[in-house]
Amino acid sequence: MSLRHAVLGLLAGGPASGYDLLRTFDLSLANVWPATQSQLYGELGKLEKGGLVAVAAEGPRGRKEYAITDAGRDELHHWLTEVEPTQVRRSDMLLRVFFLDRLERDEALAYLRRQAELAAERHERLVELGRTVAQGDDPLSVYGRIAMEWGLRASATQRAWAEWAQEQLAERQPPAAP
Amino acid sequence: MSLRHAVLGLLAGGPASGYDLLRTFDLSLANVWPATQSQLYGELGKLEKGGLVAVAAEGPRGRKEYAITDAGRDELHHWLTEVEPTQVRRSDMLLRVFFLDRLERDEALAYLRRQAELAAERHERLVELGRTVAQGDDPLSVYGRIAMEWGLRASATQRAWAEWAQEQLAERQPPAAP
DNA sequence: TTTCGACATGTCACTCATGGAATGTCGTCC
DNA sequence: GGACGACATTCCATGAGTGACATGTCGAAA
């Protein structure tokens, strides 16, 4: 439901072709809203049919440059200011936690340890990403950094949680004496 | 992809009908993996066809009580110990952040303020939930509390982030003098 | 000049998820 | 004994996401 708004949001920054958008997705939005070719081109077609975007120019290789229309701008504004974000709830990482008692104690601890590791890796990757890109002062970089900060805090939180959970488990069920 | 494992995980704790599972979902797993009737019954059918669960007994009103099979237990164990959780990435809340420069400053601040509010509400709801249920010492309660702790920390983190982001915005673009 | 990589769009088949509706049964309370 | 709420399953339409495949063009370098 939100891909259309992601497209509108990007086109609000200037006209672009499907191909352009695809690269922008990979570069900046991939972490919060990945999209495949088929989805993107399909969505562009639907948006055009709905009058929210229009073909502004045609280039070589069949390139079609899309531009946002006034109707599209209205829709984007409405989505940004009036539609409540749906909180993400599905997490197979947490789902597994519910079933940790189906495992041996060591296996359960290993699982939590692994989650701490993964969170640490994700954190590291974001720090790295922050060093290489998004140093600019342009709006997308500024807000990109704010979004990235979310990722940094989230991964740190997850790591701390996974370590805390290991302690809980260790305290609760001390291993049998040899 | 994980609904099947959620079902297997629950059935590993004892046989149950689709209806039973549905209620358990609503009570305990709803926060990490919601499921609808149609999905659940569909999944049970597929699992039975695949030999991972079997009808253990039939009751009144067409009730079919399903039990996990050895193959199902193997699959569950495999999923718990060897399959890496897919990190959740889609977030329309963060997607909007990228487009905040399309808004007036006040609108952008209002958006972030609202996200802080929502996080605080979610936190409050979890605290409340923690008071009313999950006081037991049974495995599902214990691990349920660990999962809940994740939610508590995540919502606290999100709130702090949204407040930080407001400050960033306020510092960066001081309102024009009157 | 040919060839190769980047540019560029599009389709298909499949699975997952959502939400709603239809259908019927059992037990209990009045 | 009738009405009602809880129990219980199944079907269907729609839309979103995935991944693979198909097709073709342009520019530059070897």
Show me where the domains of chain A are located. 3-82, 92-172
Per-residue pLDDT reduced to its tens digit, A92-118: 999 999 999 999 999 999 999 999 999
Q: What is the pLDDT of residues B19-63, one digit of tens each?
A: 999 998 888 888 899 999 999 999 999 999 999 999 988 888 889
Give the mean model confidence (pLDDT) for residues B72-97. Answer: 92
Q: How far is B157 from chain A (nearest CA, A)?
A: 7
Interatomic CA distance for residues B5 and B93, integer angstroms:
28
Residue in this structure with the two tokens 């305990």, named with its chain if needed? B28
Report chain B's mean pLDDT, rounded to a whole number: 89
Q: Which residue has the tokens 């606290």?
A: B156
From the list A152, A87, A110, the residue with the least C-alpha distance to B82 is A110
Give residue for tokens 């599209």.
A72
In this complex, do A164 and B149 lie within 8 Å of one another by their Cβ atoms? yes
Distances in Å between the Cα of B44 and the Cα atoms of B25, B68, B72 are 14, 11, 12
pLDDT band of residue B103 (cuts 50, 70, 90) is very high
The confidence score (pLDDT) of residue A174 equals 60
Q: Do B150 and A94 touch (CB under 8 A)?
A: yes
Local structure of residue B109 (DSSP, 8 states): H
Asked if A46 reaches chain B (Cβ–Cβ under 8 Å), the answer is: no
* Nearest in space to B28 (alpha carbons), one of B127, B148, B109, B119: B148
Q: In terms of CATH architecture, what is A3-82?
A: Orthogonal Bundle (1.10)
A143/B90 Cβ within 8 A: no
pLDDT by residue for chain A (178 residues), tens only, comes to 799 999 999 999 999 999 999 998 888 888 899 999 999 999 999 999 999 999 988 888 889 999 999 999 999 999 999 999 988 778 999 999 999 999 999 999 999 999 999 999 999 999 988 887 656 667 667 888 899 999 999 999 999 999 999 999 887 766 565 5
CA distance A99 to B77: 10
Provide, as residue numbers in chain B, all residues whose Cβ is less than 8 Å from the Cβ of A29: 95, 98
Chain B nearest-CA distance from A93, in A, is 5
- 10 Å CB burial of residue A67 (0-12, 13-18, 19+) is middle
Residues 6+ apart with CB under 8 A from A98: B9, B28, B29, B32, B140, B143, B144, B147
Would you call B81 an interface residue with chain A, using a CB distance cutoff of 8 Å? yes
pLDDT of residue A59: 84
Spatial separation of the C-alpha atoms in residues A29 and B109, rounded to whole Å: 21
- How many CB atoms are closer than 10 A to CB A163? 16
Q: Which residue in B has a C-alpha nearest to residue A88's C-alpha? A: B91
